[in-house]
Amino acid sequence: LRRDRLGFVFQSFNLLPMLTAEENIRLTGRLGNRRADRAWFDTIVDALGLRERLSHRPSELSGGQQQRVAVARALLTRPEVLFADEPTGNLDSRSGAEVLGFLRRAVDAYRQTVIMVTHDPGAAAHADRVLFLADGTIVDELAAPTIDAVHARMRRMEG
């Protein structure tokens, strides 16, 4: 079930250092003895700007490129639900915007559900709905969030 329907993007990437970017992306499918179709692989790789880096090992990639490899790996099996833990936490603003844009496309174009944990109001504003947690409990909710609205709710919670 987990391998077939769920995808995970970890804050620490969890890439295997001895594998190339392409091998890391294909790893989940290989573990499940499933081959992703080439067209889908190409769609993900091109959308995330990884085509020229597929033969590189993680140590040869920037943090943003490593994060995009992790996102590509999570999406390759076309999971119904993708869990993303601070997917932009280690990225510069440009790389972060690219990753968030692709996660948004995963929802809009590929009909996937993305559940994202973030402390970044800008990242949260890419969601359809934001749930605010305190001590493990949902304490507030915001539909159609904007950066300003998320920021205001966060300030109210701190206050």
Question: pLDDT tens-digit profile of 123-146?
Answer: 999 999 999 999 999 999 999 999
Residues of the chain with pLDDT > 90, as a percent, come to 58
Which distant-in-sequence residues (6+ apart) come within 8 Å of 21 by Cβ? 50, 53, 54, 55, 56, 57, 58, 61, 65, 69
Q: Give mean pLDDT, residues 12-26.
A: 95
Centroid of chain to Cα 22: 17
Give the model's pLDDT for residue 34.
65
CB-facing half-sphere around the CA of 119: CA atoms within 13 A: 6
CB of 69 within 8 A of CB of 13? yes
Max avg pLDDT among 16-20, 47-51, 61-65, 91-95: 16-20
Domains in the chain (CATH in brackets) are: 2-117 (3.40.50.300), 119-159 (no CATH)
- pTM, two decimals, is 0.85
Burial level of 76, CB count in 10 A (0-12/13-18/19+)? Answer: buried
Predicted local distance difference test score (pLDDT) of residue 154? 93
pLDDT at 88: 86
Q: Give 29 or 58, the one with higher predicted confidence.
A: 58
The predicted structure's pLDDT at residue 77: 85
